[in-house]
Structure 1
Amino acid sequence: MRRINRNRPPHIRRKDKAESITEGPNEAASRPIVGPPSDTVVMIQEALGNSPDVHIRKMANEKFVVSYIDSLTDPKLLSELMSNLEDMIQEGGEASSKEQFADSISAGSVKLASTEREMLSGMLTGAAAVLVEGVEGALLVSIPGGSRRSVEEPSSQTVIRGPKEGFTEDISTNLSLIRKRLRTPDLRLENRVIGTYTQTRVVVAYIRGIAQASVVEEVLKRLDAIDTDSILESGYIEEFIQDRAFTPFPTIINTERPDTVAGSLLDGQVSILIDGTPFALVCPVTFFKFFLSSEDYYQRYDISSFLRNIRLFSFLVAMLLPSLYIAVTTFHPEMLPTTMLISIAAQREGTPLPALLEAMLMEITFEVIREAGVRMPRVVGPAISIVGALVLGQAAVQAGLVSAVMVIIVSFTAIANFVIPTFAMSSAVRLIRFGLMILAGSFGLYGILSGIIPLLMHLVSLQSFGVPYFLPVAPLSWSNIKDVFIRLPWPRMNKRPEYISIQNQVRQGNGPKEDPNKS
């Protein structure tokens, strides 16, 4: 067995073979691309570790060199690019500047790269680097390829009436879905690249003249302050830029619906799209925005208002119902009607556990079943979760471990939790519910109140990019209530929310409108 000298630092063990592994991220120098194409090719191969998917194609006695990454480029566009270069060679292949070569290429969009870093970054995003002898720099021809998922219906935010298109993992496709809905030159897209290793493209979208400039600047400032190795999903960005980290309530909405993003931009909000994920971020938001659905604006105002109040009621049920049951049955049985009290007492007569432990056991069991249904294969997951809940619940009642009324309480609580349209808010309710159950089992209704009052104080103190989180209730704003608990008919909703957009508030009707082209 080969012995390793453990006294040596790890970074110098077997240096001859592992040197490239123990080094940090590729620090491609910002040196200008000069010299013959053969020298630049050597640099590319060394910088990318002689990867087998990096291809080098030489033409006309190495006067023309095309370097690209096979797994990131489109074969058809690459073939068209090579045809363009062959035509240039047959015509003489002489030009005095990079701009003349760029005008001769029709395969894709062309960008001029003057440094090695720019060239490598372009190749890693699906571009082919064209090197020409006697011409400084490189031409980056964008010919992106690779596997892409087609546009499908969103899986987490389904609607009965409304568009069936959802975002994909390709940010270019997502931007096209937004452009298709917002055909205005005032739509602005700010591009950023975040992540030392992933080099993830992040785009900030807003409508000039509607979104507040201070909010846009704050979003860009927080994005520019991110210093991390990788951004693999929008959740990374959300945690980096949120106002307060230690809170169960989300202060940024994530959505995979293009129509939701378009509607948010028209209200004056800002959207953040991240390459590699179908979930876009929308900010700033308020607490009540998490109970709205894009379908509310496609159905009639009366049914939309009714459904909004159903969601708010379900939120209260999912958060308070188990704790209220524990508090009343344990500390305040005199609050129940005599008939109901006798019925509950008869059911609980043979159960060995107190109400708090009984509720905890059922809630934790249901959380385990739900998590198992999510993680199992999609074909058997729903069946296992439903059958498991029914079988375990019935068996627990027959075994005398829990009462039948407790199964009803936990089941209705779980159903009410699913009514909340935003998964992030429903997850927050699940966490808060356990805390209130412990307080109810310890102090009764006084314990519940001692938990709700700090919770309300916390909600009032939160902000989302400078916007109070509990608007328009605290501080109270009557003019913005029209699109919170109820939704007025569209002809009556002639102004945008004042707490989000303070400029160009008139969206329809005969009121005065500001010119969005004004600076």
Structure 2
Amino acid sequence: MDPLIKEITTKFLNNDDFFLQQDYFMDSPVILMGFNTMIDLTESREAIHVYIEHANSASKTIDEFMSLFGEVKENDMNVVISSIVQGKLIIYFAKYNKFVVSQPIPKLLNRFTEPPTNENVLQGPLSSFVEDIEQNVGLVRKQLSTDQLLVKSFYVGQDEKKKISLMYSENHVQMELVNNIVRQLEMNLDKNVHNLQNLSKTMGFSSWGPFTKFNTTELPQEVAHSLRMGKVVLFVDRLPFALVLPSLLWDLFAMENDRNFPLPLMLSIRFLRITGVLMTLIIPALYVALVAVNPEVLRIELALAVSQSRDGVPYPALVEILMILLLLELILEASVRLPKSIGPTLTMVGGIILGEAIVAAKLVSNLIIIILAATTIANSTVVGFQNSLSIRLFKYLIVILAAIYGVLGILAGLVLVCAYLASLTTFGVPYIQIHLAKDRTKNG
């Protein structure tokens, strides 16, 4: 094997989507190189052979013949590697020891007509992942064009084989994290993976944790940012989103799309998200604590206003707020399950008509509707739908503690939540750690 070909093969040895195939162009042996996640190799080869048949190549010199396929390059390792990671097809003429950088027929990696459905992008790329795992890997490669991006693939499952691809940036990630994930996958290759609960068991995570160890996203730009920050990304075949490991507390408040705004606006947006989480956890519990346990904390004017709003309500504050929160959960779940044409109607009936009726019937106070609306809006500011579900779960714990101990119960609940978050780790990485970046270019 040619030393340069051997060097390129060694460079991309850890990339399972790298191909190196032999072919013949006009009886000249050639070697084709590139990434099959970015190049449609079958269509490209057929197109080249058809082009050769119609081209009058017999009277051309070898340089003219090679230039038919693309730009002839000198045997420069850096140029070849750079062209490969950009999605080009490299044709190596072994007889003449020359490379040609050709424009192949690419795989369809862009979905301009199908923007993200679960994550809204105000300013940024509108491409999103699909169910095909190779297309997803190709989308990330287009977003992060570097030869340091490595891919490892695994086939897990005993009865049904499911492909899982692991991606990481070699010059940013801590290899101990990668080795732990690879070791865990290789130890459980016989386990079936049909959903994220199966994948959690395969990765050795507890199924009872309210906070997910995976940070899910359908945006390639978010995955590229995570790779730069030293995280590892998993793609599961037929799942149209990426799984980022490890998930950190700061992921609830920050996303890469925020950096498309000026710095003051970015900081303001993230501050609003932090405020939204605190409001979701505290406001319902604060209502229960001030109405049922510690009314002396309120000023006399505010206490009279609250008492007047609850005039005729037959339930204690705890039952009142749990009833209305449960009703909200039912409305949210129903709006998710129903078709999009019916969902807005249900939201209008549940939020406006039912809300007014339940207040008019003196089943809940006017103030509780305001608290419910504020809590719902604040909970929606968190990054990631699954993260908002986890926060909604902890909200009930603090409400119950507030009903028993009042304001001190709220403080105790927040301490318990913080202690629980501090106890979480993912392959040895604490959940409350801010950054993972191991940027060798900055560290020298």
TM-score (norm 2): 0.72
Which residue identity lines up with residue 372 of structure 2 in the other structure?
A: V
Please say if residues 231 and 246 of structure 2, whose CA atoms lie closer than 8 Å, have aligned partners that are also in contact: yes
Q: Deviations over 1:317-372 (max 9, x none)?
A: 11111011100111111111221111110111110000000000100001001111
Please say if residues 214 and 245 of structure 2, whose CA atoms lie closer than 8 Å, have aligned partners that are also in contact: yes
Match of 2:263 among 297, 301, 316: 301
Q: Which runs of 5+ in 2 are unaligned?
A: 1-39, 51-106
- Across the aligned residues of Structure 1 and Structure 2, the Cα RMSD in angstroms comes to 2.5
* Pair 1:151–1:170, CA change in 2 (3 A): farther
Which residue identity lines up with residue 501 of structure 1 in the other structure?
A: A
* Pair 1:464–1:408, CA change in 2 (3 A): same
Q: Name the structure 2 match of 1:190.
A: 152
Q: Quote the offset at 1:151 in angstroms.
A: 6.9
Q: Distance in 2 between matches of 1:156 and 1:364?
A: 24
* Pair 1:322–1:242, CA change in 2 (3 A): farther
1:330 aligns with 2:266: no
Alignment of 1:404-423 (within 5 A): 404-423=366-385
Q: Name the structure 1 match of 2:353.
A: 391
Q: How many residues align?
A: 343
* Pair 1:242–1:255, CA change in 2 (3 A): farther
Q: Name the structure 1 match of 2:78.
A: none
* Pair 1:359–1:322, CA change in 2 (3 A): same
Q: Quote the offset at 1:241 in angstroms.
A: 2.0
Please say if residues 273 and 280 of structure 1, whose CA atoms lie closer than 8 Å, have aligned partners that are also in contact: yes
1:285 aligns with 2:285: no
Match of 2:343 among 358, 364, 381: 381
- Match of 1:410, SS? helix
* Pair 1:239–1:161, CA change in 2 (3 A): farther
Which residue identity lines up with residue 160 of structure 1 in the other structure?
A: L
Match of 1:453 among 393, 408, 415: 415
Match of 1:339 among 291, 296, 301: 301
Please say if residues 264 and 270 of structure 1, whose CA atoms lie closer than 8 Å, have aligned partners that are also in contact: yes
Alignment of 1:78-227 (within 5 A): 152-226=114-188
Q: Distance in 1 between matches of 2:280 and 2:364?
A: 20
Q: Quote the offset at 1:208 in angstroms.
A: 1.3
- Match of 2:378, SS? helix
Q: Deviations over 1:410-462 (max 9, x none)?
A: 11101111111211211111111111111111221222223222222121121
- Match of 2:380, SS? helix
Q: Quote the offset at 1:227 in angstroms.
A: 5.0
Q: Distance in 2 between matches of 1:505 and 1:269?
A: 17
Which residue identity lines up with residue 400 of structure 2 in the other structure?
A: I
Q: Quote the offset at 1:295 in angstroms.
A: 1.5
- Match of 1:272, SS? strand
Q: Distance in 1 between matches of 2:288 and 2:441?
A: 48
- Match of 2:440, SS? coil
Q: Which runs of 5+ in 1 are unaligned?
A: 1-73, 85-144, 473-496, 507-512, 515-519
Q: Deviations over 1:165-198 (max 9, x none)?
A: 0000011111111111122111100010112233
Q: Name the structure 2 match of 1:362.
A: 324
Which residue identity lines up with residue 215 of structure 1 in the other structure?
A: L
Please say if residues 373 and 382 of structure 1, whose CA atoms lie closer than 8 Å, have aligned partners that are also in contact: yes
Q: Distance in 2 between matches of 1:386 and 1:240?
A: 42
Please say if residues 210 and 504 of structure 1, whose CA atoms lie closer than 8 Å, have aligned partners that are also in contact: yes
Match of 2:404 among 442, 454, 474: 442
Q: Deviations over 1:38-92 (max 9, x none)?
A: xxxxxxxxxxxxxxxxxxxxxxxxxxxxxxxxxxxx9x98xx8xx99xxxxxxxx
Q: Distance in 2 between matches of 1:406 and 1:242?
A: 42
Q: Name the structure 2 match of 1:248.
A: 210
Q: Distance in 2 between matches of 1:222 and 1:424?
A: 24
Please say if residues 253 and 382 of structure 2, whose CA atoms lie closer than 8 Å, have aligned partners that are also in contact: yes
Q: Deviations over 1:188-244 (max 9, x none)?
A: 000101122331110000111221110100111122233555323445324532654
Percent of aligned pairs with the same residue? 31
1:259 aligns with 2:221: yes
1:429 aligns with 2:391: yes
Q: Distance in 2 between matches of 1:431 and 1:242?
A: 23
* Pair 1:212–1:400, CA change in 2 (3 A): same
Please say if residues 382 and 388 of structure 2, whose CA atoms lie closer than 8 Å, have aligned partners that are also in contact: yes
Q: Distance in 2 between matches of 1:347 and 1:242?
A: 51
Q: Distance in 1 between matches of 2:316 and 2:190?
A: 48
Q: Distance in 1 between matches of 2:369 and 2:201?
A: 36
* Pair 1:307–1:364, CA change in 2 (3 A): same
Q: Distance in 2 between matches of 1:439 and 1:505?
A: 49
Q: Distance in 2 between matches of 1:294 and 1:239?
A: 29
Greater shift, 201-210 or 434-443, is seen at 434-443
Which residue identity lines up with residue 293 of structure 1 in the other structure?
A: M
Q: Name the structure 2 match of 1:311.
A: 273
Greater shift, 278-287 or 348-357, is seen at 278-287
4+ residue segments displaced more than 6 Å: 148-151
TM-score (norm 1): 0.62
Please say if residues 436 and 451 of structure 1, whose CA atoms lie closer than 8 Å, have aligned partners that are also in contact: yes
- Match of 1:419, SS? coil
Q: Distance in 2 between matches of 1:469 and 1:203?
A: 24
Q: Quote the offset at 1:505 in angstroms.
A: 5.7
Q: Name the structure 2 match of 1:275.
A: 237
Q: Name the structure 2 match of 1:59.
A: none
- Match of 2:281, SS? helix
Which residue identity lines up with residue 204 of structure 1 in the other structure?
A: L
Q: Deviations over 1:256-284 (max 9, x none)?
A: 11110011111111100111011111112
Of structures 1 and 2, the larger Rg is shown by 1
